[in-house]
Chains A and B, each alone.
Chain A
């Protein structure tokens, strides 16, 4: 099984458009939308619902008011500031259990609460897994790992060779969970100083975890000099630019029509560019199959 993760560092550079387009050109694959804060791929893939399950992943402390003697030890022990007036603030609670450990009256319990939903859809190209974390909930990295696990299981049981991951922006917890064990990262960037700055952070992350990465510059002709500068920066870091996608109004039309770009505008310049990128990316991912590494131990 080959796992390809599409990330960007900066948000809004075209990850989801790239994933939907590449999926369209594939022979069939499993899709995993790992941007659980803002899951948008399902809005474009138009799949039919196969399953919807509760995500019970948020461990939260609860103080039994009848057993609590209001000694305040829990409040002192909580480094997250989640306890005041002998009550737990569920938004700030990280479920570490320090309050439970220090409570002399056994008044604290840790309870798993539902904090999102996990969906499996059937799309034209194969099964798709995505999740919606309830707004304001924590631990998105754990939910990303759950989506990844489910996608791997589906690829295994239904005999798909490729899992294509639509990743979140950033380089923190959910981004790390999205790239762990991937064979290749496709970084989608845009020709701007911000795009370049965030791309360099993502390249550092990939190198930190020893995951091969290649770059696509989306909307490159909006600022050709910046695109050239990004190419040069990538070259200096030993990173390959596999494709350049021109700015194309068809992309916005496809997003508004909620369909993959090539399904509506197969001859659009952006669709043609994504087709080329998919051929490069899938070839390279297979070649490095199995080279993905797990999170390094300290």
Chain B
């Protein structure tokens, strides 16, 4: 089973919930931190890294001798990554998606595709877990190729810590999983972004359920949304200042709430019943 822990809004507690769940299960599994723009799960799971791999994306290389600046590539690049400067064509690497259209349309065979590093993936182990995380290089825009590479790590049970948001990187994480556990908070912001996230799950046909973090007893704003959209609230985590204090130093929810272990194991059983 592949389980994605996700949220529309940032900072709701995705990493906290994903790490606590993985530790509570205390069995062999693979943990994938796919928030490659801010990978933080390693701070809580303390993996030992055994290997490091560069992630390459296809990238056009223009042969200046063959190129006669006809402009076919410029016209056909949908991302504006090719620009003509006088008698030369120049590539704006930040904008390139690596699709290879420029190579296909070049009448002079002046373009070849090479690999360009956009980030790295770190692989290792944390106790009984296999662990992988990724890191987008500074100034690179596209995190999806790195997420795709991390997701190649397979196992009987995989827990994915997703990035915030509801566009490409989050979609890439949730797509093809068996269940999405959506972590939210009982505020208008949390509600607004949870609504978007549920829509994403529906589009991807991935079943989902909700964890309300920082609950202060009155979670009506989330409860009524979940009733309206018929999504179950599977767990509530109470608000405590001590949670923030422990989180600050990389300690997990289980250290603040030792009783939560059973709740998390029940949560996992429920998820298994609802999975795709």
Residues of A within 8 A of B (CB): 8-13, 16, 36-40, 43, 59, 77, 79-80, 91, 94-98, 101-102, 110, 133, 135-141, 168-176, 191-194, 197-198, 201, 204-205, 208-209, 219, 222-223, 226, 247, 252, 255-256, 258, 295-298
Q: How far is the CA of A43 from the CA of B165 in the complex (A)?
A: 17
Q: How far is the CA of A246 from the CA of B21 in the complex (A)?
A: 31
Contact across chains for A79 and B98 when beta carbons are under 8 A apart: yes
B170 within 8 A of A: yes
Main secondary structure of the interface of A (DSSP, over half): loop
Minimum distance in angstroms from A268 CB to a CB of chain B: 17
Which of B120-128, B224-232, B239-247, B258-266 touches A?
A: B239-247
Q: How far is the CA of A45 from the CA of B94 in the complex (A)?
A: 34
Are A38 and B40 also in contact (CB < 8 A) when A136-B199, A172-B142, A209-B139 are?
A: no
A selection of 11 A-B contacts at a CB cut-off of 8 Å is: A9-B37, A10-B10, A97-B101, A102-B104, A133-B167, A135-B197, A170-B38, A170-B169, A171-B138, A194-B38, A295-B94
Contact across chains for A91 and B10 when beta carbons are under 8 A apart: no
Minimum distance in angstroms from B24 CB to a CB of chain A: 20
Query: C-beta contact mask, B96-127 vs A, less than 8 Å → 1, else 0?
Result: 01111100110000000000000000000000
Known: A37-B164, A223-B249. 9 other contacts (CB 8 A): A12-B9, A91-B203, A98-B99, A101-B101, A110-B78, A136-B200, A173-B141, A193-B249, A198-B38
B250 within 8 A of A: yes
Query: Quick one: closest B residue to A206, CB to CB?
Result: B138
Q: How far is the CA of A37 from the CA of B193 in the complex (A)?
A: 8
Contact across chains for B92 and A295 when beta carbons are under 8 A apart: yes
Contact across chains for A43 and B189 when beta carbons are under 8 A apart: yes
Are A169 and B105 also in contact (CB < 8 A) when A16-B189, A135-B199, A138-B167 are?
A: no
Minimum distance in angstroms from B135 CB to a CB of chain A: 8
B187 within 8 A of A: yes
Contact across chains for B101 and A98 when beta carbons are under 8 A apart: yes
Contact across chains for A37 and B166 when beta carbons are under 8 A apart: yes
Are A9 and B38 also in contact (CB < 8 A) when A96-B99, A135-B200, A140-B167 are?
A: yes
